[in-house]
Every structure is written in C-alpha cells, then in structure tokens.
Amino acid sequence: MRYLTYLSLIIAVSCSQPKKQQATEEKEHFIQTIAFGSCSRQDKVEDQLWKEVVAENPNIWIWLGDNIYADTEDMAKMKADYDLQKSHPDYQALLKQSSVIGTWDDHDFGGNDLGKEYPMKDESRDLLFDFLDVDQKNEAWNRKGAYQSYRYGSNGKTVKIILLDVRYFRDSLLWTMNPKTAQVNMDGDILGEEQWSWLEEELSDKEADLILIASGIQVLAKDHRFEKWANFPKAKTRLFNLIKENVNVPLAFMTGDRHISEVSKFDLEGYKFPLYDFTSSSLTTPWGEQSEDPNELRIGPTIYPVNFAVMKVNWANSKPALQLKFVGKESEVLHDFSVDY
C-alpha cells in the first residue's frame, strides 16, 4: 500500500517535443530543455521576460519561488496578484507551449523571510497550486505544504524534478541589523519530518538518471548574510547525508531568491559527483547596487541584470551532460556554462 502511495506521488509525463525538431528526435519522449527562474514582480508587466522564455521553447518551465510579490495575509489580494501574473499574454503563450511546475519562496508564501509562523499558509498553498494548475489527482494537494515531484522521460533518459518547500515548515530565523544579517539557527529545521521522509523516498528512486532539486533559497552558497540553507546547519547536513546515502546519479540544485544569478560548486565527500547550485534571480527586479557578493563556492561571474536560466540536457552518453545559459532582455546570453558528469 505504501508502495502504491509512493508511486502515485510520482507523475510520469511524456512531454511533446518542441516544433521544428529533426525527425529522429521527434520519436523520443524525453526532456531536452528546462528553463527556470524566480523573483517576478507581477506588477512590472512591461518588464516581464516571458517573451524571451517562450523563444527558448523549453519542455518545462520551473518557478523557483517569489513567483509573485504578495506579502500579505489578505487572500483576495494574493489571488489578484496571481491572476495578474497569470494573465500576461506571453505567460499564457508559455502555458500553451510548455509544462509549467513550481514551488514558492517567502514573498508568494506570505511575507518577507517568513516561515511556519505565517498564519495563512494553508490558504496560500491552495492559491499557489491553483496558479500552477497542479493536477487535482496529484497527491501534493492532500499534504500540508507545497512540495511535489515530477518524473519525465524513460530508458536511461529520465529526469526527476523534486520541488522542495522551504517555507511552510521552516523554523524561525532571527536577524541582526546594520546590515541586516540572518543568525544561524543551530537546531532549527527547514523541511519538517513529513517532507524529510518523503524526500528520502524520492531520492531513492532508481528510475532517475538525473535529479534536479528546486529550493527557493540557495543550498550551497554560505558566505552571504541573507537566507540560505547554511542558516540551518542541521538541516543542511541532513540533506547532504540523504544524498550520500540514496543517490547514485548526477544531482543539481536550482535556486532563486537572491536577485543575482550564479553557479556554485561543492565536492561533497561520500557522493561521487560534484554538486552544483544553479541560482537564477530575478525575472523583473535586479539587485540595486552591484557590490561584490561573497561566495567562495561560486564558479564564474555574478550576474546582476534580470534573467532566467535555460538548461539543455544532452543524453548522448551514458551520463547526462548539462549546458546552462542565463538569458536576459532581448534574449541576450549573460553567461553560459557546461557540466560533464
């Protein structure tokens, strides 16, 4: 029974291929292009990057949180914010063309830097799932929180996408001021026990050839003063241990939140592939000043203009290879980067 429940958590999706593909590729049903981004102010209608996202023709678009800036306990206001975001004509075009999935971060959850103390989290979660058109049959509807998983492809070309909820269950975070700096919560948790045991089962999925984990806040970067997994060292160690114990295939994180983009890399002892954290933020609102952001794990530049990320997965060899680019206004490529596992 438990196994059946587990199976029902996984939605295997055969994605239609983008148009204008070569005939040999059209016979395959696997993921080639995954686009993702975060931090989108719904009221900056003219600044949206949806036209550029649509031009990339991704199989999947992944929202990494701060999908709207609601910052409210007024659910009518939150719904109106989602409606505005969803009504953008170019976003509507994306919905017709691509599979759209996602999770949330603080501003769409309910308020800046909030965690489990936010009183409207159940109502807010339902609005998120309505916005994302999460299938009514998806088990995620019956759980607390917004975590979900999806599996695409088959036969050695299977990508598993795990969308974490880093808000609903997150313990409190204390801040000091001047400058505003998050304090480490030594015993605090991010995911909550139910999500932890769900995650362990998801990570032990033997069908997956590539695992991508979405988290609103950055997983690897640890040197800056804002929100990050490093503020909860117990939870971060637990996540790394789960990966070491259960994962035998390449795994990468996709994160947002920061209003900068960057790639971080970390060699986790006991896990045979390098860990990458691909951070893409913001879709509409760049960080004000371009002061240097500390991150000793960063490889490549810090990207300040508005952007989203496009990941192409090459399945030609026994292990997937990734080609990543950060795309800005007018489809300008701000940085590109490849990973061979």
Which residue, 179 or 270, has its beta carbon nearer to Fe ion?
179
Q: Which of 52, 165, 205, 257 binds Fe ion (CB under 5 A)?
A: 257
Q: Which stretch binds Fe ion (CB under 5 A): 18-26, 138-146, 157-165, 249-257?
A: 249-257
Half-sphere exposure of 75 (CA within 13 A, CB side): 12
Which residue, 151 or 167, has its beta carbon nearer to Fe ion?
167
Report yes or no: 210 and 249 within 8 Å, Cβ to Cβ: yes
Q: Which of residues 33-92 bind Fe ion (CB under 5 A)?
A: 66
CB of 257 to Fe ion, least distance (A): 4
Report yes or no: 295 and 224 within 8 Å, Cβ to Cβ: yes
Give the phi and the psi of residue 45 in degrees, each rounded to 5: -60, -40
Q: Residue 159 pairs with which residues in a beta bridge?
A: 152, 210
Which residue, 106 or 165, has its beta carbon nearer to Fe ion?
106
CB of 105 to Fe ion, least distance (A): 4
CB of 299 to Fe ion, least distance (A): 23
CB of 68 to Fe ion, least distance (A): 12
Which residue, 67 or 158, has its beta carbon nearer to Fe ion?
67
Angle between helices 193-203 and 2-9 (to 10 degrees): 80
CB of 125 to Fe ion, least distance (A): 16
How are strands ordered across the β-sheet holding 210-215?
A: 11-13, 148-152, 159-163, 210-215, 251-255, 275-279, 261-266, 298-303
Paired tokens of 167: 């808000």
Which residue, 65 or 153, has its beta carbon nearer to Fe ion?
65
**Contacts with Fe ion: how many residues (CB under 5 A)?**
4
Which residue, 191 or 243, has its beta carbon nearer to Fe ion?
191
Angle between helices 233-246 and 193-203 (to 10 degrees): 30
CB of 260 to Fe ion, least distance (A): 12
What is the pattern of x (binds Fe ion, CB under 5 A) and - over residues 208-247?
----------------------------------------
Spatial distance between the Cα atoms of 227 and 179, rounded to a whole number of angstroms: 14
User: Any idea what DSSP says for residue 74?
Assistant: -
Spatial distance between the Cα atoms of 214 and 257, rounded to a whole number of angstroms: 12
User: Any idea what DSSP says for residue 256?
Assistant: -
User: Any idea what DSSP says for residue 118?
Assistant: -
Which residue, 112 or 338, has its beta carbon nearer to Fe ion?
112
CB of 66 to Fe ion, least distance (A): 5
Residue 44's alpha-carbon distances to 47, 50, 97, 337, in angstroms, are 5, 12, 23, 29
What is the pattern of x (binds Fe ion, CB under 5 A) and - over residues 99-138?
------xx--------------------------------
Q: If residue 235 lies in a helix (H) or strand (E), which one and from where to where?
A: helix 233-246
User: Any idea what DSSP says for residue 206?
Assistant: T
CB of 61 to Fe ion, least distance (A): 18
Which residue, 107 or 160, has its beta carbon nearer to Fe ion?
107
Report yes or no: 64 and 36 within 8 Å, Cβ to Cβ: yes
Residues near Fe ion, by CB under 5 A: 66, 105-106, 257
